[in-house]
Amino acid sequence: MGQYTPPIDDNLLNISDRQKLNEEEARGVIKAEQFIYDLEEDVTISADLILKLHHIAFSHLYEWAGAWRRSDFQVGPHVPPGYNEVPLRMYQFVDELNFKFGKVKSDKDLIHLLAYAHHRIVFIHPFNNGNGRTARLLTNLIALLKGYDQIILYHREGQERSIYLKAVRTADNYDYSLLEELIKSQLKKLD
């Protein structure tokens, strides 16, 4: 999972250069990060909030931003659930996430929750594109709500990317230990 880079999607700005598109997507993610920091401390994570994060990050580029995907595809070796399963899977995920969120009593619990949340978004792959970035936005929202700083899990290249991809693939078998180690190494209380 996570190894496949799809061809450039049709985009509202008609960008055909991958580097320029990545830069424009990064600008959208920064807007979504600002939205997260502006949220009330008692916000409840919901499927609608996840859709909104995706919309804020990508609506300036893609018509489908902020909507569940409407097609099936393979992402490297990973075949996500069928598109017709996405809404139900996401609502079930959010219910489980909120249950686990309320049970966090220690850093260990939080680290597991962050790994679980990040992986489930990437595994379900609810959007046409931007799933990893949305997973990182959600992970950072959860960390912030629990009083922690953002976590940098992903790198576009190099050994850090390989380590991240291995951790995500390992989590496909419900072994979150590698992903938890990555998160633990970055978990820092807000000042």
The catalytic residues are 125
Closest to 86 in 3D by CA, of 121, 54, 41: 121
User: For residue 34, how many other CB atoms are within 10 A of its CB?
Assistant: 10
User: For residue 130, how many other CB atoms are within 10 A of its CB?
Assistant: 24
Closest to 45 in 3D by CA, of 84, 102, 6, 2: 102
Query: What are the structure tokens assigned to 41, written together?
Result: 């401390």
Distance of CA 79 to the CA centre of its chain: 17
Place of tokens 């995920």: 93
Using an 8 Å Cβ cutoff, are 132 and 148 in contact?
Answer: no
